[in-house]
A and B are shown apart, each in its own frame.
Chain A
Amino acid sequence: MERHMHSRPLFHITKKDEPSFLVRSLTVLVAVILALLVSALFIHFVTKLDPISVYTSMIKGAFGTKRRTWITIRDACLLLLISLSLAPAFRMRFWNCGAEGQVLIGGLSTAALMIYFGDKVPGAVLLMVMLIVSALCGGLWAFLPAVFKAKYDTNETLFTLMMNYVAIQLVEFFVDFWDKKQSHSVGIINMNTSGGWFPKVFGQQYGLNILIVVVVTVFIYIYMHYSKHGYEGAVVGESVATARYAGINVEKVIRNNVLISGAIAGIAGFVEVSGISHTISKVTAGGRGFTAIIVCWLAKFDPFRMSVISLFIVFLSKGASQISSDFGLNEYASNIITAIMLFFILSSGFFNNYKISFSHGRKEGD
């Protein structure tokens, strides 16, 4: 026989059992430490900075002042809300990549109501109307691809993705339509009257944002685990054949769950426009619709894990922009640090399911 037949492979990969919660948490912790170490090497050798001060600056960027902390929480809430919107769809394996567009449409309808009724309708009534209309509009944006998926089995990924561009174009059209100063922006809507803006709740500017997100988080959790509709969605996601066997109307379940998904994304648009920016532009969603996909997946569709992950991702981005301004680094350097963090944490999941066995024992030969 040829020579190479005698050499054993250096290592091979085998599957292992799912470890306990403690071990899994430790794995993530080790991943974070490793990520910090590798980033430190990058910071030290490439940017010639002191890693400790860079890390301190990251923390300062996210939680340095009361205001910054609130902004971090506010942004994490928004990301969480959009991630939650994906859960009912994703659990059915309906890959809704259109949250970006659904948020935009929700935001656009909110902006329209603020512009036309901001000063004419009492605040509380207007907020209710905006909530409902934004949910309907976001829902409609998701409903269209769902109908086609249910009826003709079209590819929902492409369809929802394309709907994003339609939404962007619509927003651009209305921005120009409402723009009176030729500035290609609508500016802050109702700057003087604050018509249709979120009021302070519990004395906090972002109190209502948090309240809405908490309510939706609990709603999604209960919906997915304890409701008949949520159960149907879980069965359809697992196997369409099983669903039909159980007498479930698969088309209807797809339509309803995706409608809920889009409606929540629409509400996220309402929160963004009425509760945060008070304006509308094509970057209102700011890519969060796509980041939310990562959050939803990482959390395995669990609402409470989503909240932790959303906070972490927002923390990383706040920290990254802080270090780029503190140390005059360009955006890429701070993105690389963020990427190293994510890489380590994401890949640590591999070690929960597989182990690497190195060849050991006797050397070859007779």
Chain B
Amino acid sequence: MKQIAVSMRGISKRFGKKVLANNKVDLDIYEGEILSLLGENGSGKTTLMNMLAGVYYPDEGQIFIKNTEVSITSPKDAYDLGIGMIHQHFKLIDVFTALENILIGLPSDEREKTCREEVEEICNKYGFELDLDKKIYDMSVSEKETLEIVKTLYRGADILILDEPTAVLTPQEIRKLFTILRNMKEDGKSIVIITHKLNEVMEISDRISVLRKGENVGTVLKSETNEQQLTEMMVGEKITLDIARDFVEDKAKRLEVKHLRVKNADDKMVVDDISFDLYSGEILGIAGISGSGQKELLEAIMGLQKCEEGSSVIYNSTAHGVHELVGLSTKEIIAHGLHLAFVPEDRLGMGLVGNMGMTDNVMLKRYRKGSGPFLHRKQPEATAQKIKDELEVLTPDLEYPVRKLSGGNVQKILVGREINNKPTVLMTAYAVRGLDINTSYAIYNLLNEQKKKGVAVIYVGEDLDVLLALCDRIMVLCSGKLNGILDGRSASKEEVGYLMTHLKQEEE
């Protein structure tokens, strides 16, 4: 019989009147187990764990550690109680080495040498690979994650909370992480993984607690459940998890990208000689670990990045003829009426203006229309109303600041605006990141509709399962280079994962 390490009773947390992030949640965490905390975005998983880690303080409820009631008012309290949390956004200092990051905040009598030995011991025990003298800015995401875990263990944590640890890892790195987590579990540690990825939940956990709208809707044993049941618990209703993929016969070349090269501010080549064609009636997926040049590639096509000499992007549409995009500014692309739609990764930081309402956001690219120095809001207002009705955007009114809306509604406004202009080419970057399951499927459907209408769609994604289910072709980027284009219907996850991390040797 396993011992209870942590038990939370009747925990509630409010943010303002409207947001009840956690409502009387009970949760038990056992020693030597891996517990998955499953739930959609906004279901209160992270908030609940933040209260255990001392980031937030609960409005109501009690927390017991090994049957003693405790009050956790700061992360230091949490560490004293053996609780460590690895946040989704790493808390590391870029210019320090791994070892220095481990030592930060500890009493100065912790000598570097003894620390190094102890850290190495921890690494050997659980199977971490970590270079203690490497600077953070030289590290990959996976290395940073490893360091965060080691740091937490070094500080004596017995209860580890990992917030979406696999979000930015490749399949291979995820496997490595899971092996380590199992080693830690064998050692008697309690591990909580916050996630919304069902297949990982089924692979790693012993028990699964599901949160929905701030409430714990149930805890099940992995051995007694399946993905369908878990989805229903998360969403609260039956839904199908299949993504449609139709085949469109009629294809015409819409974009011809040739030798596209882009340098970043540090003079590093971030898009390195990429050439591909994009056709109407297809969804071209772009896979790659984050920062492999996806952002710059799309921005270069949109005229937002300076392209190096020799780059060429030919835009070919039945309605507007043939245009060379390299050399055109975004303003010129809009002014020429070229129907390139772009849903950028940073929705509120690039695609929309957070403090403005739907109307003002809908006119973002067409506010110049109409004569005179004044804005013409009639047309955009009608369009905004149409988007609100058709995509079921939940907003009090069209003037309500969009930054106050949920992520799903924000994305509906952005995608709605972009497809409203009847695009020839539609480029999306991480279109479903942070969205709940229903909204994600709504977005997939919208993209499929566009594809059937003959739009050429680019889908930059991170979830390989979705990429493999949705896209007709998958183009894999690795360190800014094109590392292969696979057929979406026949490729395997491992193939894509391998291409993401292993750059093909260039033929001489």
Contacts and interface: CB of A to CB of B under 8 A. Distances in A.
Given A228-B373, A242-B350, A247-B333, A1 B70 contact: yes
A142 interface: no
B356 A234 contact: yes
B398 to A, nearest CB: 15
Interface string A2-20: 1001111100101111000
A85 B450 CA distance: 47
B98 to A, nearest CB: 31
Interface stretch (B176-184, B236-244, B364-372, B469-477): B364-372
A235 B353 contact: yes
Contacts of B59: 14, 357
B77 A228 contact: no
A116 interface: no
B373 A15 contact: no
A351 to B, nearest CB: 13
Contacts of A361: 60
A46 interface: no
Nearest to A353: B16
Contact of A14 (B14, B304, B344): B14
A7 B350 contact: no
Given A228-B375, A242-B350, A245-B342, A9 B17 contact: no
Given A17-B17, A229-B373, A241-B346, A7 B71 contact: yes
Nearest to B72: A5
A7 B73 CA distance: 10
Nearest to A241: B350
B150 to A, nearest CB: 25
A256 B455 CA distance: 39
A274 B410 CA distance: 52
| Residue of B18, B73, B333 most packed against chain A (CB within 10 A) | B73
Contacts of B351: 242, 245
A239 B350 contact: yes
Contacts of A200: none
A362 to B, nearest CB: 9
B330 A245 contact: yes
A288 B229 CA distance: 67
Given A234-B353, A247-B333, A247-B334, A2 B80 contact: yes
A17 B14 contact: no
Contacts of A249: 331
The interface residues of chain A, by DSSP majority, are classed as mixed
A244 B375 contact: no
A199 B267 CA distance: 62
Contacts of B330: 244-247
Interface in A215-229: 226-229
A238 B355 contact: yes
Interface string B349-366: 111111110001000110
Nearest to B370: A228
A231 B375 contact: yes
A340 interface: no
Contacts of B355: 234, 238
Contacts of B365: 246-247
B344 A5 contact: no
B373 A227 contact: yes
Given A226-B374, A228-B367, A242 B16 contact: no
Contacts of A245: 302, 304, 330, 342, 344, 350-351, 364
B385 interface: no
| Residue of A226, A227, A238, A245 most packed against chain B (CB within 10 A) | A245
B219 interface: no
B57 interface: yes
Contacts of B68: 1, 5
A242 B349 contact: yes
A242 B352 contact: yes
A40 interface: no
A238 B73 contact: no
A34 interface: no
A79 B28 CA distance: 61
A248 B350 CA distance: 12
Contacts of B342: 245
A360 B59 CA distance: 10
Contacts of A242: 349-353, 364
Nearest to B303: A247
B405 interface: no
Nearest to A12: B57
Interface in A303-341: none
B375 A238 contact: no
B247 interface: no
B65 interface: yes
Nearest to B65: A1
Contacts of A14: 14-15, 59
Given A241-B349, A242-B364, A227 B374 contact: yes
Contact of B77 (A5, A226, A231): A5
A246 B366 CA distance: 8
Contact of B353 (A16, A226, A238, A247): A238
B18 A238 contact: no
Contacts of A239: 348-350, 353-354
B487 interface: no
Interface string A244-265: 1111110000000000000000
Contact of B18 (A2, A12, A17, A232): A17
B50 to A, nearest CB: 13
Contact of B16 (A5, A12, A17): A17
A17 B342 CA distance: 33
A247 B332 CA distance: 8
B81 interface: yes
Contacts of A357: 59
The list of the 9 closest CB pairs from A to B, nearest first, reads A247-B331, A17-B16, A247-B330, A241-B350, A16-B16, A238-B353, A247-B334, A12-B57, A246-B364
Interface of B: 14-18, 57, 59-60, 65, 68-71, 73, 77, 80-81, 302, 304, 329-335, 342, 344, 346, 348-356, 360, 364-365, 367-368, 373-375
29 contacts: A1-B81, A5-B71, A5-B77, A16-B17, A17-B17, A226-B374, A227-B374, A231-B360, A231-B367, A231-B375, A234-B353, A234-B355, A235-B364, A238-B354, A238-B355, A241-B346, A241-B350, A242-B349, A242-B351, A242-B364, A244-B304, A245-B302, A246-B330, A246-B364, A246-B365, A246-B367, A247-B331, A247-B332, A364-B69
Given A234-B355, A245-B302, 4 more contacts: A1-B81, A12-B73, A228-B374, A241-B349
Interface of A: 1-2, 5-9, 12, 14-17, 226-229, 231-232, 234-235, 238-239, 241-242, 244-249, 357, 361, 364
